[in-house]
C-alpha cells in the first residue's frame, strides 16, 4: 500500500492592524493572576513610558493608544509570527510526499505582501530540547 503525506497552511488577512502566531511544537501558557495590579501600575506609569519613548534620546512617536498591556505569554521551541499595521498580507506553505520507490515529493512556500504599511515577521526553530527560560522585570 503506498504511503502518501500532505499538508498545507495558509494565512490571509486584509484588515488594518493584525497579527498571527503559528506554533509548531507544544506550548506552555503562563498568565498573570493579578491583572488588576498590572492595570494599576500601567495607569500610574504610562506617562513615564511615553516620555522615555519620545524624549530627547528617542523619538519613536509613541501615543497612548500604542501601549499594550501584556499579561501572559506562551513558551515553545518552534514558532513563527507576523504582525502588520495596515494593508494586506498572505502566507502559504504546502508539503507533499509520495510512496517509497516512487520518488515523489514537493515543497512550496509563498508570501505576498501588498501595501505600504509596517510589517514584522519573526521565526524560531530551536532549541532542540525544551528549556525553561525566565525573564525577571
Domain that holds residue 44: 33-70
Confidence of residue 58 (pLDDT cuts 50, 70, 90): confident
Residue 65 within any structural domain of the chain: yes
Residue 54 within any structural domain of the chain: yes
Average pLDDT over residues 111-117: 54
Residue 63 within any structural domain of the chain: yes
Residue 55 within any structural domain of the chain: yes
Q: Other C-beta atoms within 10 Å of 106: how many?
A: 10
Tell how far CA 101 is from the center of its chain: 39
Residue 9 within any structural domain of the chain: no
Residue 52 within any structural domain of the chain: yes
Closest C-alpha among 107, 103, 114, 96 to residue 13: 114
Residue 56 within any structural domain of the chain: yes
Maximum CA extent, the chain:
70
Give the DSSP letter of residue 68. -
Average pLDDT over residues 63-90: 79
Number of structural domains in the chain: 1
Residue 119 within any structural domain of the chain: no
Amino acid at each position: 500500500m503506498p504511503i502518501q503525506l500532505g499538508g498545507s497552511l495558509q494565512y490571509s488577512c486584509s484588515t488594518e492592524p493584525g497579527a498571527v502566531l503559528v506554533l509548531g511544537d507544544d506550548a506552555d501558557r503562563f498568565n498573570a493572576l493579578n491583572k488588576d495590579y498590572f492595570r494599576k501600575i500601567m495607569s500610574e506609569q504610562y506617562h513615564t513610558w511615553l516620555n522615555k519613548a519620545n524624549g530627547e534620546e528617542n523619538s519613536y512617536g509613541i501615543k497612548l493608544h500604542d501601549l499594550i498591556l501584556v499579561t501572559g505569554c506562551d513558551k515553545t521551541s518552534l514558532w513563527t509570527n507576523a504582525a502588520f499595521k495596515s494593508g494586506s498580507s498572505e502566507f502559504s506553505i504546502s508539503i507533499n510526499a509520495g510512496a517509497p520507490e516512487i520518488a515523489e515529493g514537493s515543497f512550496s512556500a509563498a508570501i505576498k505582501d501588498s501595501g505600504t504599511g509596517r510589517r514584522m515577521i519573526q521565526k524560531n526553530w530551536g532549541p532542540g530540547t525544551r528549556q525553561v527560560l525566565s525573564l525577571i522585570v
